[in-house]
Structures are given as structure tokens and as C-alpha cells.
Amino acid sequence: MALDQSFVGRTYPPTEPYEVGREKIREFAAAVNDPNPAYVDPEAAKALGHPDVIAPPTFVFSLTYKAAGQVVLDPQLGLDYSRVVHGDQKFAYTRPVRAGDRLVVTSSIDGLKSMAGNDIIDIRGEVHDEAGEHVVTAWTKLVSRAAEEEATA
Amino acid sequence: MTAKISYAEVETGTELPPARFPVTRATLVQYAGASGDFNPIHWNERFAKTVGLPDVIAHGMFTMAEAVRVVTDWVGDPGAVVEYGVRFTRPVVVPDDDTGALIEVTAKIGAKLDDNKVRVDLTATSAGQKVLGMSRAVVQLT
């Protein structure tokens, strides 16, 4: 079923602020088994010119994906979330995410396509800090796969 | 930001040290907890098979996080990564044994850009198949 093109360009309300903690960054770095001291040692991070420990480059996805849930679960859009897979992911950083940040995500629909029964949605998440400064933009392409009977048709 | 690598010392085609990253079921459970992505296709074989997957698969974002380590380990300061994007071409299938799967990553300088930036082109494979496509990072060197 083709998605309603009128949703392209729609922007959703900003999320409540997410407070980035040192221990959450440490937990994430441990989960990807990354020993870089910039993630756990404030002194090491300061030696690199950062005010506190920074997060690994993909950390912010946990925020932007949750924010994208506003879009993909929007009942008016009608995406079949149970069949969604991650197609592409891109980040562009003004600066790294760091401990102490209070981050707000604003999600927009950049594009909608239906191809061979698959619904493809491009969502952009703009991440700003408490001062309103841009931190990172995340572009997420999600594909809602066609149900089998349609895919084999 | 303080990259360990200077723009002057790299050329297009310069290879970064490659790396191999193991992933087991335990790795995926730990990543699920840390990232908040509890989709059962990443830990429940029965569920994964009911949605047509061969077995449990790694989070794409886990693979993306491992691949960029070739860049962050090389450049020293992870804050030097100013852009990073990938396409998820094939899943990393993680069997339920002590070995799990292996993600193998190579990278080279794809282009020298303005303002001491370079584009790094990454290749990630698992079980001999490419798992990330169009995988690129833009890095600020000194």
C-alpha cells in the first residue's frame, strides 16, 4: 500500500531532553568493547580538547531512533512496523555528544517511497543541546518489507 | 579536537590498520541493554526464524559501531569524526555457540578534502560477505 505523500516534510514535536551521563557512555563503550579512553576518562578527553568524556559516534542513535518512533508509529502514516528493517544510517556532527549534554531531538520525514511492495521512509533527526546549538543530524532510512504474498507476486 | 594523524602524512589510497571484531550472542544481549534496542531478532532464535531470518542477527548499529573503530583507533580522537554513514546490505548472522561471528573491517583514504579533512572508505565483511555498503566517514585531521 503506497504511503501518503502528504507526510513528506512533516516535522514532529521535539522530544523531552535526554541527559547524557558518564556512566551511560561507559556502558555503551563497554558494549561495543571499545577501550578508547576518551569515552571513560575525563582527563583523557580533556587532553583531546573536550570538556568531558565524549560518546562513541553511533551512541546518539539510541536517542534519534526512539524519537523516530513518533514517526514510524504514527497511526495516520500506517507503516507496518513489525516488518521494518534498517536500510541506511548517516550522521553529521557539529561536535561529539558528551557527558552532561541535555539533548533534544526533532524528527522530520524527508521522503516516502513504495517500491515492489516495500515502503521506504527517510527520517531526519536534528539533535540540539540545551543552549539550542546543533550537535548532530541523524538520517535514518527504514524499509517496511512487503508481506510474503506481495513480495513473491 | 586533537587527531593523532596529520593531513600531510596521508595520501588517497593510504590504508588504515584493519581490525576484526568478534560478536557472540552475549555481545548482542549486552549491546541490546546498552542501546535500548531490544528487538527479539537480535537475541531470540525462535522469533528470528518466524520472521524469515536464518538465525539471530547482529544489530546493524552494532556493526556500524564496530566498523568505525578502525577510524577512531587510527585517528585517536573519536571527536574527529565529522560524518559517518553506512548502508546495511546483509545481516551478520550470529550462531548460538562460543565463537559467534566475526566482523572484518578494512579502510583506506578515499579522498583528501578541504580544511584538512579526509574521506575514509570502509569495507566490512562477515562470513566472506559484505555487510556494509557505501560505508564512509569524513575525518578532521590536524
- The pLDDT, as a whole number, for residue A151 is 43
State whether residue B44 sits within 8 Å of chain A by CB: no
In angstroms, the separation between the Cα of residue A114 and the nearest Cα of chain B is 18
Taking a C-beta distance cutoff of 8 angstroms, is the pair A111, A123 a contact?
A: no
pLDDT tens per residue across span B58-97:
999 999 999 999 999 999 999 999 999 999 999 999 999 9
- The pLDDT, as a whole number, for residue A148 is 62
Beta bridge partners of B22: B102
In angstroms, the separation between the Cα of residue A133 and the nearest Cα of chain B is 16
More confident residue, B114 or B1: B114
Domain layout of chain A by residue ranges = 9-20+56-152
Query: Does residue A1 carry a pLDDT above 70?
Result: no
Cell of B56: 539471530
> In whole angstroms, what is the distance from residue A39 CA to residue A98 CA?
9
Query: Does residue A54 carry a pLDDT above 70?
Result: yes
pLDDT tens per residue across span A25-42:
999 999 999 999 999 999
Query: Does residue A147 carry a pLDDT above 80?
Result: no
State whether residue B66 sits within 8 Å of chain A by CB: yes
Beta-carbon contacts of B50 under 8 Å, excluding residues fewer than 6 positions away, are none
Go through the domains of chain B in sequence order and give each one's CATH number. Answer: 7-23+59-140 (3.10.129.10)
- Average pLDDT over chain B, rounded to an integer: 96
DSSP alpha helices (H): ranges in A34-105?
A: 42-47, 61-72
Contacts A–B by Cβ distance under 8 A: 104
- pTM value is 0.95
State whether residue A62 sits within 8 Å of chain B by CB: yes
Question: Strands of B81-88's sheet, edge to edge?
Answer: A18-19, A102-115, A118-128, A134-144, A84-93, B81-88, B129-140, B117-126, B101-112, B15-23
Report whether CATH 3.60.150.10 matches the domain A9-20+56-152. Answer: no
Beta bridge partners of B83: A92, B138
Provide the 10 A C-beta neighbour count for residue B108.
17
More confident residue, A3 or B139: B139
| Contact call for A38 and B79, based on CB within 8 A | yes
Average pLDDT over residues A133-145: 95
**Among candidate residues B42, B57, B63, the one with its CA nearest the CA of residue B133:** B63
State whether residue B127 sits within 8 Å of chain A by CB: no
State whether residue B81 sits within 8 Å of chain A by CB: yes
- Tell me what percent of the residues of chain A surpass a pLDDT of 70: 95
Query: Does residue A95 carry a pLDDT above 90?
Result: yes
Taking a C-beta distance cutoff of 8 angstroms, is the pair A10, A121 a contact?
A: no
- The pLDDT, as a whole number, for residue A150 is 45
State whether residue A148 sits within 8 Å of chain B by CB: yes
**Among candidate residues B117, B102, B29, B68, the one with its CA nearest the CA of residue A56:** B68
Taking a C-beta distance cutoff of 8 angstroms, is the pair B61, B35 a contact?
A: yes
Residue of B nearest to A143 (CA): B88
Which chain A residues have a beta carbon less than 8 Å from that of B79? 38, 48-50, 54, 95-96
Query: Does residue A87 carry a pLDDT above 50?
Result: yes
Beta bridge partners of A113: A120
State whether residue B29 sits within 8 Å of chain A by CB: no
Provide ipTM, 2 decimals.
0.96
